[in-house]
Structures are given as structure tokens and as C-alpha cells.
Structure 1
């Protein structure tokens, strides 16, 4: 029958259960490509980074605006402004920050009331979308089979608390009946019982539904920021520039893999996303661990040399910025290893035949990672699944693909933004 596999982030207490559960199925059908959005750090391309920490400024001059100075759109009869508008900027920042944690839609609507409030709302909207990307960047990863054993785990991959429970086994009679009473527990069993299952494919939420967007777009009376649609309804490509080379980094061994060495053709590279075979496939092929050789494929990869290591995907230029780290380029070695696996599966002409396979054509119908990831979900749908997505859960491994998506861990608080953009005329 063959064993099933999980991709696990033990320190995050999270895992992915591939839809095609056998390694020889999901490794070659596109599932690993979904890991790119889990590991690639987002880089907004419309000026969010350099303006995030600034305080909104007046249209003329360099001093931060005070509350009364924002009322450039007050009615001609000089009606007394609301008390909220007269609050100092620091309190407006606090309000926006609190709203962004619980009600991002209100942040959008408040931002549309003036250029001043859009300067505060804009970076928080961008940060909301950023929170869906790069969730596993910098954390340890391993792909484990359900025939694996506790002894297959690299040292120190679990937290002390989880390791202690995995070694002693479950004490609750119901859990023993459901999962079995053996001890120590394999990571596959322990993750099923204690970790949170994440969706295989990250789907970008949509803060405003179609009706709300249509109403705002058709309302010509009230001007909107020129970048309104791009900020509120971004594409994945807005966060992953394609004008620079990207690399997969092994943060544990200080090794990296370049995209051009992995891609079948250079034109298949779209920033961190690579058509047909890319960073995700490289990663999975090197992080598997199990005690049983059954992998439903022609090459056994059950003792992955990178199992339990930490990774991220970043622009290549960042290698030079990390001056305290000496990075080693292992692109050629990894490329040969991947080619060996794929040629064993599809023959010596696999680079020519793979793009023509039916499932690859359906997956890579679009250049930035496939049609599967191009789905938007209404923000209300996200809210329903919010409580089930966090720092661990006692799930039995069941998961509704339509809910439970990531919400921001707003541990970093930024004090406003300087918006110098134009409004629609």
C-alpha cells in the first residue's frame, strides 16, 4: 500500500497533509510548489516597506500633521468636525493598529475617508496580506511518513514539552484508543494529535466582497487613492518581484540553491516561483525521514540530508547583506540530485516531457505558481475559520479546506505611514 506523508513544522506545531498522500504522488504533481509561499518572504512592490514606519505628514512641509490639520475636506459651512478627527496622530495610529488586529475591513473604510487616513491604513492593509506569506520562513521542516518512528527524528527538532510527551506516549484512554497505545510516538502520529493542520495551498483573502468593490468603483463622487485596487486586491506577484534572482537558503547549514540551476528553462522562472520543478520540489526531496523504504517512487529518499533544518526563500542579494554568514552555493550538487530522481521516474528525456504532461499543463496555466493558488476568499469566510488556525490544536487531522487560514501575528507594531500617493480624479 505504501505510507502516507506529512510536511511538518515541529516548532510551529503545524503540518500540511498533501491531498495526494503518498510521496511518489505529491512530489511530482505540483504540491511542493505550494511551499514557496510558505517560505518566501514577501516584498511589496508599491512602496510599503520604506514608508511603513513614518508618521503621516502634511501636504507641504516636513512636520507631522496634528489632528485639526487633516481636515482639508471639511464642508464649506465649517461644520464643527467630530471629536475623533481632532485627536492627535498618535491616537489615530493606536486606533488603526487595534482595528487591524480584529477588523481589517474597517481599516479600509476608515482609510478611504481622507488622504491622511489612507496613509495610516495602507501599510496595515499590506501587512494583513503579508501575514499570509512566508509563514514558515526560518523554521525547521521535515517530511515524515506514517511508517516512521520516533528514532527517525533529528535531535532537538521538537520542543522539550512535545518531545517529552512523544517519548512517553498518550495518557488519555480515548487518545490511546484512537491513535494506539504504543510509545514513543512517531512524529506523524504526534502531529496528527497535537499540531494544527494548514491548507495545502495558500489562498489570498479578499477583504471586500465583489458587491462592496463594485459600489466603491462605481462611486465617482468620492475620490479614492490611485493605488486603492492594488492595495486592497493585490496579486501574489505584487509581493514577489520577478526582476531579481531568488534563492532557497538552508539556514542551518548556510547553503543555498539558485533558481537558474533548478529550472528546466530560464523562462520558467518567475521570481521565487519556478514552473514544473522548483524550490518546493528541491526541499521535499531533501527533508524526508522514515524507517520504511516504501515511497511509491523509483528512488528512495527516506534519509533526507536536510531533514529538520530551517529554510527561507529570499532575493539573492540578501546573501551579500548577511556579512556575518559565509554562504555555500550547492546549486549544482542539488540540481544533479533532483535530475537523478526525476529521470528515474520519467526517463532521460524528463525535461522535455514534464511540461507536456496533462496535470502540469493544468497547474501551470499561469506564470506565477499555477491556477490553484489564484483563488480569492471573502474576508467573512476567513473570519469563520480564525479560531482553528494558531499555535496548536487537538485536531484529529481533519481539515476543511475552505476555512482556517492564516491571520497575522501582529507582534511588530509600526507607527503609521507616510502616504504621498495621488487620489483618483
Structure 2
């Protein structure tokens, strides 16, 4: 008999969108949905550009005409933030001339105390303000990523009994919640609790583009820009900048923060070309976590004990190997369990999909 599962983040009282069969989480793309919640972004170091931080009112009159975004040169394309440098601002008004006389450090302090919508609108007023604002917008985007990193994760089955949950995982208040009598008509397991009370998270990519441009539009600022500038700001800065936060030119690892173990991306990827930063085609970090955090009463013979996952209720993140090495210098050594996990996953996938799964049409369909 098939069993439904919820993938839940206990500390946030959230669950991954929908319900899943175990096979979907272990073998299909659904398991990859767990990557972005766990991946810790890297905020790029952005320069302020070439605009003078101490521009005077007389200087501003020379650049007060609204212009379109120029086409980037070949050298511009080499910079991940080149599009940002090419955005021309709105005409400068007298009300902001005083701000442009401030140093970037003081502007940073001002922007830090503003809502991100206010940062965006103010940044549209001049090139120099935009150079400062974009740092804060990028930081806001990064703060909305990796929201399950360091959070207790468990994949719970619907056949659990009321007091069947991973040992030493729940807090006293969470255990008390099972005994408050509110689930008498629906059951009182960890699965039932998540099903009834946990928030379902369906999207992990922050929709900053619409949020910020809608706010600017309500103030009449957004539509003062030419359409080409609007498009570049939206596409190059807001909608498509997650790739900057998860660079593909660095090796990434899955860390179990509870046991201080880690898994390297190149050890579990079927082929090197399947690796795209923290995201790995077909078999990746998401499938590894899902296979090791399951907790269910159903002991199917083909599951080989997976229903009592050795990592159930543990805390994880996905980060770069450089960060791991930096952390190792500050605390006890981390244990590399990549080979152990790879061997376990190969056995599991061979049993579930057949001995030729690695070169099958199924792999090509799931890329």
C-alpha cells in the first residue's frame, strides 16, 4: 500500500508543497524541491560604480536628462553585475540633492533603516543612489533564500502513531501539542499535526521584482523610466539574480549540522556536467536528504530501513566547500560521508529502478 508523506520544517512550522509518495522524493524531481530551502546564498561584493559620492548640485545638472540603458560592451559582459552599472536613473530632483552630497557610508546607514521598497524608489533617482541601493536589494534577496537552513527537517508518513517520532528531536512544547486533544477526529501524529497546522510553502524564489516595481508604480516613479530600462532592471537585477547568489564555479556540499557530516556534490552526481552549483540534475542533495530523513511506521521490505531515517529531525544546509573549510578551522573537524552516501544511494536506486538506471531513458527525462 502506498503512503503519503509530508516534508516538514519543525522550527518554522512549514511543509513542502503538497503530499508525496516516497518514490517521488527519492527518485523524481520532487526531491530537488528541497535544495533551494537549504541552500545558503553567497552575496556578491558589489562596487559602488564610478559615480562620485560627493557630487554637488551643479554637477547634477549635467546629467539631469533621462536616458535609456546603453548596450553593454563585450567587457561589460564579463561582470556578473554589468547590467546594474548600465542603468540610468530618473532625473534628479532638488529634494535629493542633499543626499548626493553624502558619502556612500552615510548613504548605507540611511538605506539600512529604510524598507526595501523605499530603497528601490530612492535608488531610481540617480546613478549614485542606485549604486548604493542595489547592494541592499541584493542583500534583501539573499535574506529570503535558504530559509530552512539550520532547521530540523523530517519527512513524516501518514501511518505514524500519535507518539511515534524521532527520538530527542521534539521540544517539550511540541510534544505537549500532541496531547492537547485537538486532533481526536483526525489523529494525533506528527503527520496529522503538519497536515492540519503547518503552513504550506509553494514558492522559494522571492518575487521582489513585482513587489518593488508595484510600489514604485503606485508612487508614479516606475513608469517615468523608459520601457527598456524597466525591462533591464526587472530581468537583470530582480528576477534573474539567484544565479549570482549560487555560483556554479565553486564546489558545493550538503552539511548535516547535527552530526557534523558532509556530502560533496561531485561524489553523488551521475556526471560532472549534471552539477550546477547546489543544484544537481537527477540525483542530488535533495534526494539524499529525503532518503535519510523519512520517519514512518510502514516498514516496506524494499525500503531497507529507510522508514527510520538516520538523519530524521536533523539540521542541514547546503553551502560551498570554502565555507565548510572556514568553519572547520573554527570548530571540530567535519566528517566526509560522501562515499558512504553515494554507495547507499546507488544500492537504493538500483533496487528501485533497475541495474541500468544510470543510463536509462528515465535519467534523460529527469534532467
TM range (shorter): 0.7 to 0.9
Cα displacement string for residues 149-190 of structure 1 (whole angstroms, at most 9, x for unaligned residues): 344323342333222122x1334xxx544x24xxxx311111
Asked whether 1:12 is paired with 2:12, we answer: yes
Distance of aligned partners of 1:108 and 1:71 in 2 relative to their CA distance in 1, 3 Å threshold: farther
Cα displacement string for residues 307-360 of structure 1 (whole angstroms, at most 9, x for unaligned residues): 1111111111122211112011111110010011100011111111155454x1
Matched ranges for 1:105-184 at <5 A: 106-166=118-178, 168-171=179-182, 176-177=184-185, 179-180=186-187
Residue 2 of structure 1: CA displacement?
A: 2.3
Residue 270 of structure 1: CA displacement?
A: 1.1
Give the structure 1 partner of residue 309 of structure 2.
304
Give the structure 1 partner of residue 60 of structure 2.
73
Give the structure 1 partner of residue 83 of structure 2.
none
Secondary structure in 1 matching 2:317: strand
What is the alpha-carbon distance in structure 2 between the residues aligned to residue 76 and residue 263 of structure 1?
A: 52
User: Is the Cα–Cα contact under 8 Å of residues 276 and 355 in structure 1 kept in the other structure?
Assistant: no
- Structure 1 spans left out of the alignment, 5+ residues: 365-425
What is the alpha-carbon distance in structure 2 between the residues aligned to residue 94 and residue 41 of structure 1?
A: 27
Residue 69 of structure 1: CA displacement?
A: 4.6
User: Is the Cα–Cα contact under 8 Å of residues 43 and 139 in structure 2 kept in the other structure?
Assistant: no
- Structure 2 spans left out of the alignment, 5+ residues: 65-91
Give the structure 1 partner of residue 290 of structure 2.
284
Matched ranges for 1:248-327 at <5 A: 248-294=254-300, 299-322=304-327, 323=329, 324-327=331-334
What is the alpha-carbon distance in structure 2 between the residues aligned to residue 33 and residue 326 of structure 1?
A: 28
Give the structure 2 partner of residue 33 of structure 1.
32
Give the structure 2 partner of residue 231 of structure 1.
237
Higher helix share: 2
TM-score by length of 1: 0.67
Task: Return the match for 2:353 from 346, 355, 376.
Answer: 346
List, as ranges, runs of 4+ consecutive aligned residues in structure 1 with deviation greater than 3 Å.
56-60, 68-72, 74-77, 83-97, 212-220, 226-229, 297-300, 354-358
What is the alpha-carbon distance in structure 1 between the residues aligned to residue 303 and residue 364 of structure 2?
A: 19
Secondary structure in 1 matching 2:318: strand
Distance of aligned partners of 1:249 and 1:70 in 2 relative to their CA distance in 1, 3 Å threshold: farther
User: Is the Cα–Cα contact under 8 Å of residues 357 and 363 in structure 2 kept in the other structure?
Assistant: no
Asked whether 1:187 is paired with 2:196, we answer: no
Give the structure 2 partner of residue 207 of structure 1.
209
Distance of aligned partners of 1:243 and 1:265 in 2 relative to their CA distance in 1, 3 Å threshold: same
Higher RCO (Cα < 8 Å, 6 or more apart): 1
What is the alpha-carbon distance in structure 2 between the residues aligned to residue 132 and residue 149 of structure 1?
A: 35
Residue 207 of structure 1: CA displacement?
A: 1.3
Residue 94 of structure 1: CA displacement?
A: 3.9
Residue 70 of structure 1: CA displacement?
A: 7.2
Residue 253 of structure 1: CA displacement?
A: 0.8
TM-score by length of 2: 0.77
User: Is the Cα–Cα contact under 8 Å of residues 209 and 234 in structure 2 kept in the other structure?
Assistant: no
Cα displacement string for residues 183-227 of structure 1 (whole angstroms, at most 9, x for unaligned residues): xx311111223322211x5244251479x889845468xxx9x98
What is the alpha-carbon distance in structure 2 between the residues aligned to residue 218 and residue 148 of structure 1?
A: 55
Q: What is the number of residues matched between the two proteins?
A: 327
What is the alpha-carbon distance in structure 2 between the residues aligned to residue 261 and residue 136 of structure 1?
A: 24
Cα displacement string for residues 215-246 of structure 1 (whole angstroms, at most 9, x for unaligned residues): 845468xxx9x988532332432211111111
What is the alpha-carbon distance in structure 2 between the residues aligned to residue 147 and residue 219 of structure 1?
A: 55
What's the Cα RMSD here? 3.5
